[in-house]
């Protein structure tokens, strides 16, 4: 798949996820293979424009991640344009506009998925960002705000006309959050509606069979994986291998999962802008998703949730390897 002139190969991408897709996790997914594109956590355009340290610290990428996208959110076209210039000047390969986040602290400001209620303003935001930067601009959307306002198709057409180079569609409405099932038909509709740009499908892909079905049912150009990658950064490698060869790789053993969890923790502490305590607090939940307990036990997970330092994590995980 091409996003403008950037080749995304394999056509499997990591979804932006707040609190998860920091530099360490993005790099881990890339290092394990199979992931053609990674994306930062969502970053406030307002805070970038104000040059706030909390926002600029999220420009934590490195050349080893390439290609990668920096995702911005906001509803003011001028502020979004300025933030996009800052991110592009800092080396982002792609500027991604968040129009999919439904959490109240974003949506109440008219940003994220709330923009899908106002296609005119959403298109103005896109056009301003496209004019501001030389790198490709993409956008991630939901099906719409709710079941009565499925605006993804209308917006995708407008976004393409405004110069967007790819659209990613999470096939749930904003009001659904992560509840219910993703309705992949909206991805098919968006793909049919645009003329020249790739469409990336997202929602309820947990394995190679799901990815294969999404490609077949929707005609999408790439598949984006989010929650299914948490605690399973090897998912891209496994899906890519099965799609290309027809054969599944064996699932990682408990020892292999523990080794990857430890690698994740060490990489985080080596690259984070957070203090050790803050980083470990984030890691507790992230590492708990590696399913390191024996069946029927939660002892390892509970002990991870009590970790205060990297040394605590190492003391817990090294004996499992």
* Residues annotated catalytic, as ranges: 101
Q: How far apart are CA 140 and CA 80, in angstroms?
A: 15
Contact 169, 144 (CB under 8 A): no
Contact 201, 222 (CB under 8 A): yes
User: Helices marked H in 226-275 — which ranges?
Assistant: 235-245, 254-271
User: Helices marked H in the chain — which ranges?
Assistant: 23-32, 45-49, 53-56, 77-89, 104-107, 119-132, 152-162, 185-193, 208-218, 235-245, 254-271, 276-288, 299-304, 310-317
Q: Map tokens 């050349």 to a residue.
A: 63
Q: Which helix (H) or strand (E) holds 167?
A: strand 166-170
Distances (CA, A) of 237 to 11, 24, 202: 12, 17, 17
Q: How far apart are CA 301 and CA 142, in angstroms?
A: 33
For every residue of 220-236, which 3-state class applies, written as one string? CCEEEECHHHCCCCCHH
């Amino acid at each position: 798949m091409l996003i403008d002139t950037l080749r995304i190969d394999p056509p499997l991408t990591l979804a932006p996820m707040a609190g998860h897709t920091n530099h360490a996790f993005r790099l881990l997914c890339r290092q394990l293979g199979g992931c053609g594109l990674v994306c930062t956590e969502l970053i406030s355009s307002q805070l970038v424009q104000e040059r706030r340290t909390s926002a600029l610290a999220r420009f934590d990428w490195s050349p080893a991640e390439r290609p990668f996208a920096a995702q911005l959110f906001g509803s003011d076209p001028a502020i979004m344009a300025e933030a996009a210039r800052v991110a592009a000047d800092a080396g982002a390969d792609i500027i991604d506009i968040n129009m999919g986040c439904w959490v109240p602290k974003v949506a109440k400001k008219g940003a994220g998925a709330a923009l899908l209620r106002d296609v005119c303003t959403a298109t103005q935001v896109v056009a301003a960002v496209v004019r501001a930067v030389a790198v490709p601009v993409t956008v991630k959307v939901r099906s719409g705000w709710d079941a009565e306002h499925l605006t993804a198709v209308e917006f995708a057409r407008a976004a393409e006309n405004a110069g967007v180079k790819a659209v990613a569609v999470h096939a749930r409405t904003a009001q659904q959050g992560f509840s219910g099932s993703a309705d992949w038909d909206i991805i098919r509709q968006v793909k049919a509606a645009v003329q020249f740009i790739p469409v990336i499908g997202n929602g309820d892909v947990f394995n190679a069979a799901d990815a294969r079905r999404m490609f077949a049912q929707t005609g999408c150009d790439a598949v984006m994986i989010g929650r299914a990658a948490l605690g399973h950064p090897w998912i891209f490698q496994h899906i890519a291998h099965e799609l290309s060869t027809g054969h599944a790789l064996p699932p990682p053993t408990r020892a292999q999962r523990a080794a990857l969890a430890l690698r994740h923790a060490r990489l985080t502490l080596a690259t984070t802008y957070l203090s050790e305590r803050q980083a470990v607090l984030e890691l507790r939940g992230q590492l708990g998703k590696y399913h390191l307990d024996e069946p029927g036990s939660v002892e390892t997970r509970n002990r991870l949730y009590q970790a205060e330092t990297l040394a605590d994590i190492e003391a817990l995980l090294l004996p499992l390897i």
